[in-house]
Amino acid sequence: MGGVRINEKCETCVPGLYAAGEVAGGVHGGNRLAGNALAECVVFGQIAGTEAAKLRREDAWAIDDFTIRREEEKLRTIFNPEEAKGKKSSGFFISRLKEIMYRSVGVVRERDALETAQKEISELKDQAGHDLKITPGKIFNYDQIHAFELFNMIDLCQMTVKAALTRQESRGAHYRRDFPDLDNQNWLKNIIFQRRNGRMQTRTEDVKTPYISPGGPF
Amino acid sequence: MNDMVSIKIKRFDPEENRTYSQVYYVPRGTKTRVLDFLVYIFEEMDPSLAYRRHLCKARMCNACLMMVNGKPRFVCWELVSPDQTEINLSPLKGKRVLKDLVVDLPPAGMNRGGEADEKSE
């Protein structure tokens, strides 16, 4: 199932950022049993913790000034409510986003619904860009927290919808009504999204099966 | 079913140190639990209203504990009967209020063991 891509040290493609547990993808293949995340978070949590501590001890990595300034800029727009002159709250947009995902990107998926969802989400993103109102205040302000979450959620939803559209087969937890069968010929692949130069890029990579190949003799 | 429910909330603004009451008139629609009404107020009417929004909705995490009509209740579970048209909400008694309906609670799980938990810290 989907998630943050990690290597055997739990490293992500962002230097210094580790992922472990349910947020990381690919450990259980196309589907996962409920409750398996418990073992996963223990095993990978230990690996991630050890590796992160090692990195810190070596002092091999530090955040550069450019990254700090870029994040500061992002925070400033959220904490200066005067700059955002909209009417709708971030909670409003999040509940609309959830509605779209629940309706169209649920257990049974098909092309038409996914394409509708793709269109609706990009419309929502446009609307959120100029029609977002953020409540001032620094104590227990969920509106500001949701403003952070909203744009990350939109990005993730776009990735999910695009991946579901790209994968024209049914595998594990992904079921397409228009492609109900497993297709090991064409889709023994991972679909990978990465941000490059501020844009979302998609590529596929073959899954390595060095020991047993699916469909072959046991 | 399209009647309105008036929800009176005792609010606290920590930045101006001010306590006040506010009444919201919420259409009943298909809402059944007190939490549904709070969600509606936050998302559609007033995002400045603070209550703990990360919760389990299953009476386990304690994050949604507050006084409903004067009694301590889990609002994620507390039903609003179809003939009820008034709800009074105030923060949980005996705890320090951080903002509106949010009180200072220990993290979920930490408040079960009592003394043993405090010593191990």
- What is the per-residue pLDDT across A94-112, written as a single tens digit (0 to 9) for each? 999 999 999 999 999 999 9
Weakest-pLDDT range from A156-170, B19-33, B104-118: B104-118
Query: CA torsion, points A115, A119, A121, A122, in degrees to nearest 10?
Result: 140
Interface of B with A in 3-62 (CB under 8 A): 14-15, 42-44, 47-48, 50, 53
Task: Kindly list the distances between the CA atom of residue A101 and the CA atoms of A118, A141, A147, A156, B26, in Å, as whole numbers in the listed order.
Answer: 10, 26, 19, 11, 26
> How does B53-88 read in b/e, with b if 16+ C-beta sit within 10 Å?
bebeeeeebbbbbbbbeeeebbbbebebeeeeeebe
- What is the per-residue pLDDT across B77-95, written as a single tens digit (0 to 9) for each? 999 999 999 999 999 999 9
Residue B120 is predicted with a pLDDT of 41
pLDDT at residue B119 is higher than 70: no
Q: Do the Cβ atoms of B15 and A138 come within 8 Å?
A: yes
Mean pLDDT of A143-154: 89
pLDDT at residue B116 is higher than 60: no
pTM of the model: 0.83
Interface of A with B in 138-157 (CB under 8 A): 138-143, 146
Weakest-pLDDT range from A166-175, B41-50, B98-107: B98-107
Q: Tell me how close the Cα of A183 comes to any Cα of chain B, in angstroms.
A: 38
Tokens coding B35: 């939490």
| Cα–Cα distance for residue pair A63/A46, rounded to 1 Å | 24
Contact list in B for residue A95 (CB cut-off 8 A) is 43
